[in-house]
Amino acid sequence: VARSARVSGVAARFGGSGVTGLIGCAGSTMATVGAPTQSVLSAPTLGSGPPHGLGALLAPRRGYLVCPLYDGIFFCCSPLLGVAAALAASRWPTGQNEVELFGRSRALESLLLASFVHAHLVLVFLRSHLNRDVFRTHPMRFLLAPPLLFSCLLLSARLRAAAVLLAVFWDIYHSAQQSFGLGRIYDRLQGNDLQAGRSLDRWLNHLVYTGPALAGLGLLPQLVAQGASFDALGRALFADSLAYGRVWRPWLAAALIGGGVPFVAFYLWSYWRLARTGYRVSTPKVVLLASTALCSIWTWSLDPFGRAFLVNNFFHALQYFGLVAWTERTRTAPLAGRRGPELARSLGVICAFGFGYGVLAATAGAPIIAAPWSVAGVAFSVTVCVSLLHFWYDGFVWSVRRGQV
Amino acid sequence: VRKPYPLLVWGTALFGIVYTQPLPPDLREQGGAVAALGAPVLALEDWFDAAEGLGMACADRTRVARGPVAGVVFSLPRCFLLEPGGEAGLLRLRDPDLGVADASLQVLAQGDPRRASLEAGLGGTWGTTELGSANGFSRLRLERTSAEGVLTVWLARGPRAALVLGLLVPGPFALSPKLRLHRAELQAAVMSAQAEPAGAR
């Protein structure tokens, strides 16, 4: 009877509908702008004892955003899933699954990956423009910046080219900041002081993500692929940029290794000291940092699959899907009706919204610098605009310090 | 409101680097403590190079006389290979261990129509550097950057023939210490060009 009650409890937690869908795994463990606040500890405990097995993974737990399974897939272990996806894709026979959309032929796996990455970029607008509490914080930025930026990109080829190159580097910085932000969320969920270890975390995330990205093998092919942008900006001006970056790369790598190892030791020592004064170590944060470091250092430094950029963007996008589905669920889930678990409906809605744009962006938005008024040129400007706005908006719509998440 | 100072500091540093573009020292030419401290950097450089298809410079750099090629002799490192290049009169000059940046070498006689056509093409967008005259040859280096990389052509014009040496270095490799050394060796070959001494055969 107890087991049956536990199973029903699990079903109600993750698979319930309406009000019951908010109980358990869908129960909020943090204050979310515009979302109901409910401590996981106050959720009704069904069954005679703590859940076991799958039930334990689906049950909300203190210190987790949603529940161990959801957090594991979407946040903490997502870098490892990115590596697994890249491993699977590398074994996929290339050139046999060509898909033609909008007159462009593309390998299916490449199209899916690119669509997924583009899809996560557009999700920021669900947060910035549809979330009234967030929108009220910076209405001018949300209303004026998109048309202004898009007009500038359409009107100037040089600006378009500069924006593409800016996006490459901003993407790297932004991804490191996202891992940092997730770590801070986990610290908050543990009830830790939001200022404790903040700078240490920021530097560590840049050390394990931005560092290998700049000093590894993965970035150069990505920049070589932006040849059209370099040409548009003036090859004379940027003739030596790649060669110049390449010649300094071993020095940067040596500095990162030489400085990084002592920094990690200092980081661990600092947290040991914090723990002695009451800081509670967050398991999901530790797993998140470790898996991010493993994935990032391996893929950016060695580029084993030749797609370091996509591998890292994959897990970054997966984290973003998980975060938006959760934080915006009260606005997105009703769009898919009232039946079924709220979180699943929210994921369905953001997938439909994201992939609707993502597939279009991955196929129609050919990297065209010279012909902005062609259909493909306009589509390309849209994708560049969305990318830059995503990087910019993400810098201030998820502030843990200001209690936005 | 964020303090603007960190941004100013980073911006000034970035601008300074972009403006001055300082190159790191070639650690292979250093000795003593600098060489010992720079060993990890050198090891990393070799590792990056190997991963991107750039090998090591071949070992025996003793310069020896090569040729004659259509009556012109020149010196090259002993380990360099001079092989037929496919077309008539065209030779391929390469460092067998380097893996990239093979050069093409040609000696064109005074009346050869290919020489007139070649010299007509070497104007306009090419950056030209006079390298001086010696042994009856006047030397010239021409460079052009394109999407394919940095193309360098050395021209040694003699009374009866001109030696033409062309090298295309892929853009990202252009400043690599190994390829800078490779270019220096090729330029030395052009500088040493002279007509085959009479009765040498």
Q: Which two tokens stand for residue B31?
A: 């000795």
Q: Does the beta-carbon distance from A243 to B21 stay under 8 Å?
A: no
Which pLDDT score, from 0 to 100, does residue A317 have? 96
Whether the per-residue pLDDT at A45 is higher than 60: the answer is: no
- Nearest-by-CA chain A residue for B170: A243
pLDDT at A20: 30
Lowest-confidence segment of A39-48, A103-112, A385-394 by average pLDDT: A39-48
What would the pLDDT profile of A71-103 be if each residue is shown by its tens digit? 999 999 999 999 998 888 777 776 677 777 777
Most confident option among A54-58, A115-119, B131-135: A115-119
Q: Quick one: pLDDT at residue A368?
A: 66
Give the residue with greater pLDDT, A299 vs A230. A299
Residue A403 has pLDDT above 80, yes or no: no
The reported pLDDT for the residue numbered A5 is 38
CA–CA separation, A239 vs A251, rounded Å? 21
Q: Which of A243, A251, A258 sits opposite B171 (nearest CB)?
A: A243
pLDDT at position A240, please? 76
Residue B200 confidence class, pLDDT cut points 50, 70, 90: low
**B42, B147, B174 ranked by CB distance to A240: nearest:** B174
- Phi and psi, residue A127, nearest 5°: -80, -45
pLDDT of A225 over the 90 cut: no
Lowest mean pLDDT among A336-340, B25-29, B48-52, B100-104: B25-29
Cβ contact, residue pair B24, A253, below 8 Å:
no
Q: What is the pLDDT of residue B111?
A: 80
Average pLDDT (B132-156) is: 88
**Rounded CA separation A311/A302 (Å):** 12
Provide φ and ψ at A223, rounded to 5°. -75, -35
State residue A367's pLDDT score: 66
Taking CA–CA distances from A243, the nearest residue in chain B reads: B172
Q: How confident is the model at residue A142 (pLDDT cuts 50, 70, 90)?
A: very high
Give chain B's mean pLDDT.
86
Q: Which of B41, B52, B177 has the CB atom closest to A254's CB atom?
A: B41
Quote the pLDDT of residue A12.
36
If pLDDT is split at 50, 70 and 90, which confidence band does A365 have? low
Residue A380: which of A169, A159, A221 has the closest Cα? A159
Nearest by CB to A240, from B45, B51, B175: name it. Answer: B175
Instruction: Name the residue among A231, A244, A250 with its Cβ closest to that of B44.
Output: A250
Cβ burial of A180 (10 Å; 0-12, 13-18, 19+) is: buried
Residue A201, classed as helix, strand or coil, is: helix
Q: Nearest chain B Cα to A215, which residue?
A: B48
Taking CA atoms, what residue in B is nearest to A255? B41
Asked if A248 is an interface residue toward chain B (Cβ–Cβ < 8 A), one would say yes
pLDDT at A370 over 90: no
Q: In 3D, which of A48, A67, A71, A46 has the Cα closest to residue A58?
A: A67
Residue B91's identity, in one-letter code, is L
The mean predicted confidence, pLDDT, of chain A is 82
**Of the partner residues A217, A244, A253, the one whose CB lies closest to the CB of residue B175:** A244
Residue A149 has pLDDT above 80, yes or no: yes
Cβ contacts of A299 on chain B, cutoff 8 Å: none
Contact A324, A123 (CB under 8 A): yes
For the residues B73-99, what does the mean pLDDT come to? 89
Q: How many CB pairs under 8 A join A and B?
A: 58
Per-residue model confidence (pLDDT) at position A366: 63
B177 contact residues in A (CB cutoff 8 A): 247
A202-223 mean pLDDT: 92
Amino acid of residue A155: L
pLDDT band at residue A36 using 50, 70 and 90 as cut-offs? very low
Q: How confident is the model at residue A49 (pLDDT cuts 50, 70, 90)?
A: low
Mean pLDDT calculated for residue range A339-343: 89
High-pLDDT (> 70) share of chain A, %: 83
Give B24's contacts in chain A (Cβ within 8 Å).
247-248, 251
Question: Chain B contacts of A236, Cβ < 8 Å?
Answer: 145
pLDDT band per the 50, 70, 90 thresholds, residue B115: confident
User: CA–CA separation, B89 vs B71, rounded Å?
Assistant: 12
| A246 contacts B44? CB cut-off 8 A | no
- Residues A254-306 pLDDT 10s: 999 999 999 999 999 999 999 999 999 999 999 999 999 999 999 999 888 77
For residue B26, name the pLDDT band (cuts at 50, 70, 90).
Answer: confident
**How sure is the predictor about A48, in pLDDT bands with cuts at 50, 70 and 90?**
low
* Residue among A245, A244, A218, A243 nearest A301 (CA): A218
Q: Does residue A112 have a pLDDT over 60?
A: yes
Partner A, chain B 139-158, Cβ-Cβ below 8 Å: 145-147, 150
